[in-house]
Amino acid sequence: SLRSAAAGSWRPGEKPSVQVGVRRGVMRAVLLVLDCSRHAAEHDVEMKPSRLSVMCDAASDFAGRFFEQNPVSTLAVLVTRREKAEALTQLSCNVRQHQQALRALAASDDGCGGDASLQNALELARDTLSSVASFVSREVLLLSSSLTTCDPGDLLASLSSIAASRVRCSVISLLAEVYICRRIARETGGEYGVALSQPHLRELLLRLLPPRPVCQDKLAPTNSLVKVGFPSRVPPGGAPALTYSAGSSKPEVRADGGFACPQCGVLHAELPTECPVCALKLLSATDLSKTYHHLFPLPLFKQQLGPPAALCFGCGEALPAAARNAAPATHGFTCGACGAAFCEHCDALLHESLHACPSCEGP
């Protein structure tokens, strides 16, 4: 039901301010870096059963929500362990591929070991993002579970190099604040935070889902026309044909249909993706429309004070009453355009998932 969906999307915490008329990079290439050093396998009072398990669960949830709000973006998963850095998955828009790799990492017996290397992670991230187009926002999100780093060279030189490459690095620590991690986030224009608990870690990750405002300087992504294709649906039941899966460079013989590239005619199993034959980015009209709310976000609703006098426009439940013999309490939120009142759960659902007021959009 609408009420159960609204209650599931609600989370505590302050709402971020809505910025209108801000240039944002809706096409993003994000590298999710996990610190899989020996410290990630340690038991923590706040991060049970282990920091690795908590990181993998939070990263898997982040990947699913990331593609819901950023359907024209790509994501890759990197890990740093044993003083090295390696790619767990390649840049792609296949959320199932990333989530399967994260589940396998959490279940692996040798998933953690040695020390983390921030320098190797930054160097690998810079090399991975070097082939990304200039109009795409390049981002790195590091989940750190260590207080130390073991690097082969000058970490500050690598930091200067990745900052010059227009890569924004955000760091979330699961232990405590580390100076070099905060400096990496500050010098690259990213965000830094320390997760106090599992819900707090989820909240910090959710803040990074919307595209960040683009700085208007020489390091900002360039303006460019992007050539995209809208494939036609090929129904299943026909003759078997070579079909590409998202993130795969080798086709498979399948007979369950797919999406035909309008430029070269090659079949693809799912969208969005990039055609490996003609390098055309393939989207559906629905995916493209989902990025609209980042450029024109739904304004925050005004808090309604005083005794309840109406029902919630979304779920139809009565707005909660203010406590007796006390100051008037917040019991609803009112749309500034149409005046419709919503409860806190529906308010969260509209701003986090639907991105539209049903009263304004209705007949």
Angle at 52 between CA 73 and CA 155, to 5 degrees: 70
Give the residues across from 253 on adjacent strands: 242
* 245 token code pair: 């899966």
Cβ atoms of 115 and 146 within 8 Å: the answer is yes
The torsion angles phi and psi of 219, rounded to 5 degrees, stand at: -95, 0
Comparing CA positions, the residue from 228, 229, 260, 231 lying closest to residue 243 is 260
Q: How far apart are CA 188 and CA 75, in angstroms?
A: 19
Question: What 8-state DSSP symbol labels residue 197?
Answer: S
Predicted TM-score (pTM) of this structure: 0.76
The reported pLDDT for the residue numbered 309 is: 54
Give the CA distances from residue 349 to residues 34, 132, 171, 204, 213, in Å, rounded to whole numbers and listed in that order: 30, 34, 27, 18, 23
Give the CA distances from residue 49 to residues 46, 87, 145, 149, 204, in Å, rounded to whole numbers and listed in that order: 9, 25, 14, 24, 20
Comparing CA positions, the residue from 321, 315, 319 lying closest to residue 333 is 319
Q: How far apart are CA 293 and CA 313, in angstroms?
A: 21
Report the DSSP pairing between strands 137-144 and 28-35: parallel
Q: Quick one: what percent of the chain has pLDDT higher than 70?
A: 85
The reported pLDDT for the residue numbered 25 is: 73
Residues in the chain where the model's pLDDT stays below 50: 1-14, 323-328
Residue that the structure tokens 């599992």 belong to: 198
**Alpha carbon 277 to chain centroid, angstroms:** 28
Cβ atoms of 221 and 166 within 8 Å: the answer is yes
Give the residues across from 28 on adjacent strands: 137
The reported pLDDT for the residue numbered 7 is: 40
The reported pLDDT for the residue numbered 325 is: 46
Comparing CA positions, the residue from 297, 283, 289 lying closest to residue 74 is 283
First-to-last alpha carbon distance for the chain, in angstroms, is 22
Question: What confidence tens digit (pLDDT) does each residue in 257-287 have?
Answer: 889 999 999 998 888 788 888 888 888 887 7
Comparing CA positions, the residue from 58, 63, 56 lying closest to residue 28 is 63
Q: Residue 52: in which H helix or E strand, if any? A: helix 51-69
Q: How far apart are CA 160 and CA 227, in angstroms?
A: 32
Cβ atoms of 65 and 206 within 8 Å: the answer is yes
Ordered DSSP codes for 5-21: HHHHH---SPPPPP--S
Three-state SS across 330-346?
EEEEECCCCCCEECHHH
The reported pLDDT for the residue numbered 224 is: 65
Ordered DSSP codes for 98-161: HHHHHHHHHH-TTS--S---HHHHHHHHHHHHTTS-TTSEEEEEEEE--S----SS-HHHHHHH
- For residue 207, count other CB atoms closer than 10 A to its CB: 13
The torsion angles phi and psi of 189, rounded to 5 degrees, stand at: 80, 20
Comparing CA positions, the residue from 354, 213, 223, 221 lying closest to residue 295 is 213
